Amino acid sequence: MKEFPSCFGENGVQVVDSSSSSTTRTAQNLVSCVYQCKLRGRSCLITVTWTKNLMGQGLSVGIEDLANQCLCKVDIKPWLFSKRKGSKNLEVDSSKFDIHWDLSSAKFGSGPEPLEGFYLAIVFNQETILLLGDLKKEAYKKIEGNHVRSHAVFIAKREHVFGKKFYGAKAQFCDKGQIHDVTIECDTLGLKDPCLVIRIDSKTVMQVKRLKWKFRGNHTILVDGLPVEVFWDVHNWLFGNAMGDAVFMFQTCLSAEKLWSGQSIVDPSVLTWSCSQQFKDSQLQGLGFSLILYAWKNE
């Protein structure tokens, strides 16, 4: 299975392959955010991946074009104090990429993505194409003299979430829209007829009974007045490794079925493959925002 984007290959941040049958695999605590921008008139994708493990926090930045060609890749491994602030410069085909970051005062929650006290700036040929974090004044000083115009659009987020019965994440389903709390509830231990419940801001928007018969499927909900197609695959929870993951995809799309037309979901890896491969085309066609959650059960 090929993960998105291609910049994150064997030398980058490794993402657990949900189609793996290994019983010893473990999930990495990570969040990947994907942004769309234009470089020299070409649509490109910027992927920012935050990771967390026993060694500390990690950060990777990858930029690729529509032909899956990796234009720029920076992998900042779990850092020591000296690496919490810095910059890297790369040249690709006579173009210059500058990546600046300052996480020395960053505050984190339970996940790997910083909540506040940081900035991450990506500059292409002296033009800022992406600026993240709340320390924008500090970032402006660092990139002083450059044309500061962040025009990247947030189009997708992939996150590993952990729990025993409840799994939570935050999502913003439309540009400058409200940030919502997404909660997945599913108790599969010792139950003959488990039930799947999905809530948005504590309000139940979807319920799947007889889950052993409906372990894969899709359903449309409304969020902020927009249709959101929800796809789920809980096969691993019910029939696979007890410590395996389930996959959920929330896609703001008026005709999300187009993404899956002609595709028969008969294999546990198919949903994961589809989420990671086909979201790109849907975003570039202006079909909305994608949230992909890999839900892992804790012991």
Does residue 134 sit in the same domain as residue 179? no
Domain boundary among 151, 178, 206: 151
Q: What's the whole-number mean pLDDT along residues 90-101?
A: 87
pLDDT of residue 231: 95
Does residue 228 sit in the same domain as residue 281? yes
Alpha-carbon span 140 to 265, nearest angstrom = 48
pLDDT of residue 94: 81
Does residue 169 sit in the same domain as residue 138? no
pLDDT of residue 12: 28
Residue at 92 is within a domain: yes
Q: What's the whole-number mean pLDDT along residues 124-131?
A: 90
pLDDT of residue 100: 92
Does residue 73 sit in the same domain as residue 144? yes
Higher pLDDT, 257 or 163: 163
Residue at 90 is within a domain: yes
Q: What's the whole-number mean pLDDT along residues 140-157?
A: 77
Domain boundary among 151, 178, 198: 151
Residue at 22 is within a domain: no
Alpha-carbon span 271 to 263, nearest angstrom = 10
Does the pLDDT at position 43 exceed 90? no
Does residue 193 sit in the same domain as residue 288? yes
Predicted confidence band at 225 (pLDDT cuts at 50, 70, 90)? confident
Does the pLDDT at position 264 exceed 50? no
Does residue 176 sit in the same domain as residue 259? yes
Does residue 184 sit in the same domain as residue 59? no
Residue at 112 is within a domain: yes
Q: Are 212 and 196 in contact (CB under 8 A)?
A: no
Chain segment 204-221, per-residue pLDDT in tens: 999 999 998 999 999 999
Q: How many domains does the chain have?
A: 2
Does the pLDDT at position 57 exceed 70? yes
What's the mean pLDDT when you consider all of the chain? 77
pLDDT of residue 34: 93
pLDDT of residue 38: 87
Q: Both tokens of residue 292?
A: 């992909």
Residue at 5 is within a domain: no
pLDDT of residue 216: 93
pLDDT of residue 262: 33
Does residue 55 sit in the same domain as residue 147? yes
What contacts 139, CB < 8 A, 6 or more positions away? 100, 102, 119, 121, 131, 133
Alpha-carbon span 223 to 232, nearest angstrom = 17
Alpha-carbon span 94 to 4, nearest angstrom = 26
Domain assignment of residue 281, given as a range: 162-297
Residue at 21 is within a domain: no
Does residue 191 sit in the same domain as residue 271? yes
φ/ψ of 289, rounded to 5, equals -105, 145
Does residue 146 sit in the same domain as residue 178? no
Domain boundary among 127, 151, 175: 151
Q: What's the whole-number mean pLDDT along residues 146-171?
A: 85
Residue at 19 is within a domain: no
Burial of 178 (0-12, 13-18, 19+ CB in 10 A): exposed
Residue at 10 is within a domain: no
Quick check: pTM over 0.75?
A: yes
Does the pLDDT at position 274 exceed 50? no
Chain segment 1-22, per-residue pLDDT in tens: 333 333 333 222 222 333 333 3
Q: What is the dihedral of CA 50, 130, 182, 158, to 10 degrees?
A: -50
Does residue 263 sit in the same domain as residue 175? yes
Alpha-carbon span 276 to 45, nearest angstrom = 14
Show the DSSP H helices in the chain as ranges: 136-142, 235-239, 270-284
Does residue 50 sit in the same domain as residue 96? yes
